[in-house]
Amino acid sequence: MKTLGFIGMGNMAKAIAEGIIKSGKMSGQDVYAYAPHQDKLQKNAKAIGFMPCATMEELLEASDTVVMACKPYQIEGVLEMYRDALAGKALVSIAAGWDFAKYKPLLDASTRVQFIMPNTPAMVGEGVMLFEETHSLEEEERKELFDLFSALGLVEEIPSHLMGIAGTLTGCGPAFIDLVIEALGDAGVKYGVPRAQAYALVSQMILGSAKLQLKTGEHPGVLKDNVCSPAGTTIRGVNALERAGLRAAFLDAIDAIVG
């Protein structure tokens, strides 16, 4: 891969471009982007360091690998107009719902496709990048993409039939955890902790707890038990959360999305 081009430059595309450039895995001179709002594109280009393009034609001519980062409802129109220009290129889709099977009938046979589902923590280098197992990239291209996206967090290959549920967990999950941060922050404020400090304490606690589980590989239940002393304060709080149906609430949230 010599050059990378973004069709669209929303928040996720900005996070990906910035992460790749900051990591040194690609030079900003080799990263291109096109978006219809040129003023905003120029501003982002100056801040992040990529090369802004005035037209789609300019972008596609400059890029051998293209990231489809526009709104999902816009994609079919883009493919109809630029199907021939995408021939022979690698196309990476980060648009929700646009997997390999959906692209295949709309592209030239020479266009190679990889569907990736990122999530918002990628903006701070702590994301989860789900690579659909079914793809048509060349082996070396895929290795390069794995390496590029590893600058944004954890990279995992997922079977096509599990991309939906895996993407629900990683894509919607941050909103659920944000609710937890807000609720525990409110509890701190209730008992006198300034709000900004309460949020900082809770967010760092969640970050540390997550890193501890990832590093040790311990079952979350074991880590929970390690904090719960006999007749202690934590087990009382755990008991209250169990009575309130915390586990069931999270399961119900996923059911509401998937169902």
Sheet holding 4-7, edge to edge: 51-52, 31-34, 4-7, 65-68, 90-93, 112-117, 127-132, 153-158
Are 131 and 82 in contact by the 8 Å Cβ rule? The answer is no
Residue 11 annotated as binding site: yes
Distances from the Cα of 40 to the Cα of 3, 14, 120, 188, angstroms: 22, 12, 20, 39
Are 114 and 145 in contact by the 8 Å Cβ rule? The answer is yes
Across the strands, what pairs with 132? 158
Residue 72 annotated as binding site: yes
How many CA atoms, within 13 angstroms, populate the side-chain half-sphere of residue 241? 14
Residue type (1 letter), 192 = G
- What gap in Å lies between CA 38 and CA 60, rounded to an integer? 17
Instruction: List, in sequence order, the alpha helices (H) in 72-162.
Output: 72-82, 100-103, 139-149
Residue 143 annotated as binding site: no
Residue 12 annotated as binding site: yes
Q: What are phi and psi of 136, to 5 degrees?
A: -130, 20
Residue 215 annotated as binding site: no
Residue 69 annotated as binding site: yes
Residue type (1 letter), 216 = T
CA end-to-end span of the chain: 39
Contacts of 158 (CB under 8 A, 6+ apart): 130, 131, 132, 133, 166
Residue 9 annotated as binding site: yes
Residues at the annotated binding site for NADP(+)? 7-12, 69-72
Which residues are annotated binding-site positions?
Answer: 7-12, 69-72
